[in-house]
A = this chain, B = another copy of it.
Amino acid sequence: MKTKRVDVAIIGAGTAGLNARREAEKAGASWVLIESGPYGTTCARVGCMPSKLLIAAAEAAHNVAHAREFGVNVENWNVDGRAVMERVRSERDRFVGFVVDSTESIPEEKRLRGEARFVGPKSLQVGDHTRVEAKSVVIATGSRPWIPPQLDAIRDDVLVNDDVFEWEDLPESMAIFGTGIIGLEIGQALTRLGVQIEFFNPFDELGRFSDPKIVAKAHKVFGKQLTLHLKSDATGVEKVDGGYRIQWTDLNGEDHERVFQHVMSAAGRRPNVEALDLEKAGIPLDHRGLPISDPRTLQCGDTSIFVAGDVSGHRPILHEASDEGRIAGANAAQFPDVQATVRKTSLEIAFTEPQMAIVGERYIDLDPDEIAIGEVSYDNQGRARVMGANCGLVRLYGRKSNCRLIAAEMFGPRVEHTSHLLAWAIQEGLTVPELLEKPVYHPVFEEGIRTAIRNLAKELRVSGQCGPQDRGEGPGA
């Protein structure tokens, strides 16, 4: 048993952990990075990158299927599942390779392999070989997919997104439990690639939308292109020849059953804390046993223990994990001089088609008395129509008291881009009249957003507390 003394011990070599150690290094602190699994981040290995690669293939198939609309005739085409997965895996391996190389370039004495657990607030046991005594600790252990109890009977066979990206070919069929962002992204992509996908969810949420009008639109649009069994009880799940039989009762109380080649859980993710023996860390825990931390400092109570990334539960998204790693790493190195950071405007995007985005707070978390709402339909928006992508609804929320744009729920084409425009504007505190002074080219998807802003301006005028000027209605919306 060796003992290692450092200023900062970082548990987890993912995005948050790697950023935390960079900050510790910058601050001149001594540090050690502890990892029990393979190197490579969740994002690169099983998250953002491989899912976007699968979606790119799905988009290629969709474009081929719809080329005739533009005057391009395709006589014969097919999806080569092996080729699809070959590109997904090889590009994924390339992205992962960069992270692994960069992690392995860290001097060996600063990397510890093995599972870490607290033996005291400033003391960690790593595997059975090393004791780490640290002035501060950053917990950056990430999260893993959760498998709901209704799949208990086949628990060991249930796939998660990690498994999908290891496929060498596409399957015939798959049942997906969950209609959150991960489920919809992967499930829609596979549907477009010809896999028979059916979704199951005892509830009826789609992605993270909360605005009733956007939720209704999403149900209508996805309901047409995907096989959704929402508010459906899966009454039986069992392994049979050739796959897994799912039995379910639909909304009308009718019973159904079908055999799927695979079953995947996309029912959410859970922070990785079980192995940590957190009760010995002396930090505040919530009722689920998860560390409670201040999102602006990532500090747990007034201890020298910090959390960062998915495990923190604040904002389980890559760019936020990246920020949290920096904040936690810097504060761990400077402890007890802990600095509060103003977090960025929240931005969530799902790369479905239409795309989904939530900017700032969700509608459901806003006080309806304090806001006015502006909206635009993309069902006939000029450029979207030109591109054959005219479908969607965007709703903007403005604060009556100061006429500022504060949040948006967005369901439509290319909202990955327009959501950035709005997130930056919201973070800058721009008012609706200020937004109307900004240039918008023609013909672009951004004109739809301007229409929504004009609509919001009108609603704010009606509310009587703001008097935004709109310099008129140009062509193109």
Contacts and interface: CB of A to CB of B under 8 A. Distances in A.
Interface of A: 15, 19, 22-23, 41, 43-44, 48-49, 52-53, 56-57, 59-61, 63-64, 66-87, 91, 95, 99, 317-319, 322-323, 326, 344-347, 349, 382-383, 385-388, 414, 416-421, 423-425, 427-428, 430, 434, 437-446, 471-476
Contacts of A430: 428
Contact of A87 (B15, B61, B70, B444): B70
Nearest to A347: B439
B80 A77 contact: no
A389 to B, nearest CB: 9
B441 A347 contact: yes
Given A77-B75, A344-B439, A56 B387 contact: yes
A156 to B, nearest CB: 30
Nearest to A414: B417
A73 B78 CA distance: 5
Most-contacted residue by chain B among A442, A473, A476 (CB, 10 A): A442
Given A64-B72, A99-B475, A386 B56 contact: yes
Copy number in this complex? Answer: 2
Listed from nearest, the 6 A-B pairs whose CB atoms lie closest are A71-B84, A71-B83, A417-B417, A322-B474, A60-B70, A75-B76
Given A61-B67, A71-B87, A437-B427, A443 B80 contact: no
Given A60-B72, A72-B77, A319 B67 contact: no
Contacts of A69: 60, 87
A263 to B, nearest CB: 24
A416 B386 CA distance: 15
Contacts of A418: 417
A43 B95 contact: no
Given A68-B83, A75-B75, 9 more contacts: A49-B386, A60-B70, A71-B79, A71-B80, A71-B85, A73-B80, A74-B77, A319-B440, A344-B437
Most-contacted residue by chain B among A66, A323, A428 (CB, 10 A): A428
A84 B386 CA distance: 12
A52 B386 contact: yes
A384 to B, nearest CB: 11
A236 B472 CA distance: 50
17 contacts: A22-B472, A43-B475, A49-B386, A52-B443, A53-B386, A60-B71, A71-B80, A71-B84, A72-B79, A73-B80, A76-B76, A95-B382, A99-B475, A322-B474, A417-B446, A421-B421, A424-B438
Given A15-B475, A56-B388, A95-B382, A81 B87 contact: no
